[in-house]
Amino acid sequence: MSTAAAYAVSAPDGAFEKITIERRDLGPHDVLIDIKYVGICHSDIHTARNEWGGTRYPCVPGHEIAGSVAAVGSAVTKYRVGDRVGVGCMVDSCGVCAPCLADEEQYCTAGSTMTYNSQVDPAVQPGGNTLGGYSTQVVVTENFVLRIPDGLELEVAAPLLCAGITLYSPLRHWDAGPGKKVAIIGMGGLGHVGVKIAAAMGAEVTVLSQSLSKQEDGKLFGASSYYATNDKQTFRELRSRFDLIINTVSANLPLDNYLRLLGLNGTLVILGLPENPLSVQPFNLAGYRRSLSGSMIGGIAQTQEMLDFCAEHGIGPEIELISADEIDGAYDRVVASDVRYRFVIDVSTM
Ligand code: NAP
Ligand code: ZN
């Protein structure tokens, strides 16, 4: 067993506190990672504040992890000490079900083991509850470790491990590319990376944000149009316009307004995971044979593909580096949509 410093919350309304946690001894296929940077995803906030229910405390969030390999188990073949690596939302899966065999471990029928707040054998994580990347070290089996290409700085790569793959996967699945009109709802952590990736794939990208306050940024990121959803005229003007709409909003939206912006056979994909149910008027699906779908992060192989794609296209998130004692304030700013565009914790401050 080794120990690591970590930042944890102990209750839904608790503040972050520094604690010491244990990490397991290295098994043959394990990699010990010195974490250098970890992004703050809105899912961390939903979990820390128990907005989805089921949070086990103390909770150490963090699934946008970038760092370097500190040690490897005896049978590890993919990584060596010193390699630049990342870890995303999953740290294990059954490996034998149909989704796992299809490289879609995020849909493992046995349930993938998430980087934090998953119940596991205490041999996997002392205490029996996975603890995430707001910590100085983590131990992960080599198949769930990603290689960070040389062209990406570690602090920029970190948010790609969740925000990047969560957008890349549906954009690929629904064939975003030349000739496709794609709209992204919400230009926060996920949304702004989505604008960059969709534009790099060659799609015509529109941002649907609450106001026009970030319009200039959206255009710089690659959007050709930018509309405010607090303006009713937006919904009249854009009726039946899009092939694909990706909803990254962390709060409940009136989905019918957005479904009506899809053309024939268009799809609205839900990525945002608000705590309360969403409702839909069936006529808005029947008309134009529209689809309503969802998507959860992406598989490990596709996450590597996404990192390589971002390095090749020079794409990365816009980040604001913070120290570990600034997490609480950063959470409040994310919830207030006051983030430009992803907070990343400098783990050396732990
Ligand atoms: P974020 O940085 O807070 O971005 C969310 C954006 O949604 C905000 O920047 C804002 O964009 C918009 N928004 C927020 N509140 C709104 C409201 N009341 N009405 C309308 N728009 C609002 O969060 P994130 O880290 O990108 O995560 C977004 C959501 O995706 C979260 O629910 C998270 O849990 C979920 N998520 C899902 C997956 C998955 O695999 N499906 C993976 C990661 C995260 P504007 O300022 O542009 O309006
Ligand atoms: Zn996330």
- CB 132 less than 6 A from any atom of ligand 1: no
Predicted local distance difference test score (pLDDT) of residue 17: 98
Predicted local distance difference test score (pLDDT) of residue 287: 93
210/259 Cα distance (integer angstroms): 17
Task: Measure the CA dihedral 159/162/165/169, to 10°.
Answer: -150
Ligand nearest to the CA of 186: 1
Predicted local distance difference test score (pLDDT) of residue 231: 98
Q: Considering the chain, tell me which residue range(s) the CATH 3.40.50.720 domain(s) occupy.
A: 163-294
- CB 112 less than 6 A from any atom of ligand 1: no
313/200 Cα distance (integer angstroms): 7
Predicted local distance difference test score (pLDDT) of residue 6: 98
- Which segments in the chain show pLDDT lower than 50? none
The architecture of the domain spanning 163-294 is 3-Layer(aba) Sandwich (3.40)
Residue 6, helix vs strand vs coil = strand
Beta strand 146-147 pairing with 30-39: unpaired
Q: Which of ligand 1's atoms lies nearest the C-alpha of 210?
A: 48
Q: Considering the chain, tell me which residue range(s) the CATH 3.90.180.10 domain(s) occupy.
A: 2-147+318-349
Predicted local distance difference test score (pLDDT) of residue 338: 94
Phi first, then psi, for residue 87 (nearest 5°) are -135, 135
- CB 210 less than 6 A from any atom of ligand 1: yes
- CB 88 less than 6 A from any atom of ligand 1: no
Residue 306 tokens, joined: 């996404």
What burial class does residue 188 get, using C-beta atoms within 10 Å of its C-beta: 0-12 exposed, 13-18 middle, 19+ buried?
Answer: buried
Nearest Cα neighbor of 144 from 85, 228, 83 is: 85
Span from the CA of 202 to the centroid of ligand 1 (angstroms) = 24
Q: Which of ligand 1's atoms lies nearest the C-alpha of 40?
A: 25
Write out pLDDT tens, residues 29-55. 999 999 999 999 999 999 999 999 999
Predicted local distance difference test score (pLDDT) of residue 227: 98
Residue 96 tokens, joined: 């034998």
281/346 Cα distance (integer angstroms): 45
Best residue among 248, 295, 306, 341 to mutate for probing ligand 1's pocket (most ligand atoms within 8 Å of CB) is 248
Predicted local distance difference test score (pLDDT) of residue 163: 98
Alpha carbon nearest to ligand 1 atom 22, residue: 249
Beta strand 30-39 pairing with 65-72: antiparallel
Q: Write the CATH number of the domain with boundaries 2-147+318-349.
A: 3.90.180.10
- CB 101 less than 6 A from any atom of ligand 1: no
Residues 80/70, Cβ–Cβ less than 8 Å: no
What is the value of pTM for the model shown?
0.98
